[in-house]
Structure 1
């Protein structure tokens, strides 16, 4: 399994990259589960690719949270960074549960974002399925998995919309998580899990076909998702994942 850590600025990105994360995710956690960062913040984080150029660029992938399809004033409309430098983009589906044409809205917004920032063939979309789907009022997880396969996504992230809803493994039973993972893989997509996961969750989840563990809270000092990213916490997570801990400095 690989480790994705969400960061809110270039200082945190520097710490995460130096600690050896596999995927650097850029977002604004104060704006929600998929809160989009400002264009300048994203550009500042992407500029660190030059600093860590001694490592093969493929060793670290970059992803961006784009917010929700239903956002009335989406922040991505002001983005001006080069989207070709991003590997993965994520867009949420909250408040679309009862929309009969939610896949159309999703695809239209994805196309608009691609047109805003420009993307390369290597830039792929990750579908986000919320485990607390009734709170999020998002489409059922099974439907999101099917849509991800139908519309060319690289993978599916199962996350929680509200951090007050509880942790992923409190909301969804382990056997159900395992079934979702197998379903995602059956479509040839990668499977990522998030939702206030902690180091103690890694061993139980490692027996499932999970490709990526995505965290924010577990990588922060004192487990405060609004706090600062901690190198010590990241290295603990990497050790639990069985990944060699490296230093990119």
Structure 2
């Protein structure tokens, strides 16, 4: 069954998300970009809260922020974020000439048991072998999101054929497969066709569909029922 990821900014929003059926509580600051990072203090407090709820199925994820593909910078932020005991760490793969130095720099973290998810952006073009390289590096999953939060969704960039091809490549690589990016309730039928591991929401479950406003419990509940 496809899981529901809800991005939150606080303990209060985490509570709303959990009460309305979220499987993954994703920690992100919408005011700081596509993958804006919350502070370590904020992440620590939210992870501690979620873990204290004694709900076995709920997991946490967090992003290191909109960082350039600089190996030392990314590995340092991953190591710092891992101290919060968040379940999954998301790393945005911004366009660059060579991703391998970053993948190599993360080997120590991966060998230490840190679970990493590569976030690809629907607007970007990537090397044909990148997903295989991500798998070989030891990442546990790939997520596709949108970088420009302008209302366009993953579906605007990927045709039905392209969506199915991507899903096949990721799943056949043994990776988890997440989809997000300005998605709303009305997009669920099309997104579910490719059977992603989880579907992520922020703006589509906020008041006025604006990602910087508060979470709307009824919207989360409606999506949970549709899943």
* Both structures adopt the same fold (TM-score exceeding 0.5): yes
Deviation at 1:69, TM superposition (A): 4.1
1:229 aligns with 2:180: no
Deviation at 1:82, TM superposition (A): 5.9
Q: How does 1:43-62 map to 2 (within 5 A)?
A: 43-53=44-54, 55-56=55-56, 59-62=57-60
The residue number in structure 2 matching 1:19 is: 20
Query: Does the aligned pair in 1 maintain the 2:64–2:78 contact within 8 Å?
Result: no
The residue number in structure 1 matching 2:99 is: 102
1:207 aligns with 2:193: yes
Query: Does the aligned pair in 2 maintain the 1:84–1:120 contact within 8 Å?
Result: no
| TM-score normalized with structure 1 length | 0.80
1:150 maps to which of 120, 136, 153: 136
> Relative to 1, partners in 2 of residues 1:131 and 1:50: Cα closer, same or farther, differing over 3 Å?
closer
CA RMSD of aligned residues (A): 2.6
Q: How many residues align?
A: 223
Give distance in 2, aligned partners of 1:172 and 1:208: 12
3-state SS, counterpart of residue 219 of structure 2? helix
Deviation at 1:68, TM superposition (A): 3.6
Where has structure 1 moved over 4 Å in runs of 4 or more? 71-74, 76-82
Query: Does the aligned pair in 2 maintain the 1:36–1:66 contact within 8 Å?
Result: yes
Query: Does the aligned pair in 2 maintain the 1:129–1:141 contact within 8 Å?
Result: no
Query: Does the aligned pair in 1 maintain the 2:116–2:141 contact within 8 Å?
Result: yes
3-state SS, counterpart of residue 67 of structure 1? coil
Query: Does the aligned pair in 1 maintain the 2:36–2:64 contact within 8 Å?
Result: yes
What per-residue deviation string (whole Å, max 9, x for no partner) do you get for residues 48-91 of structure 1? 135412x22xx0010011124417888x7599676362111111
| TM-score normalized with structure 2 length | 0.87
The residue number in structure 1 matching 2:92 is: 92
Q: How does 1:114-193 map to 2 (within 5 A)?
A: 114=109, 121=113, 123-133=114-124, 140=126, 142-164=128-150, 166-193=152-179
Give distance in 2, aligned partners of 1:153 and 1:163: 26
Runs of 5+ consecutive residues of structure 1 not aligned to the other structure? 134-138, 242-249
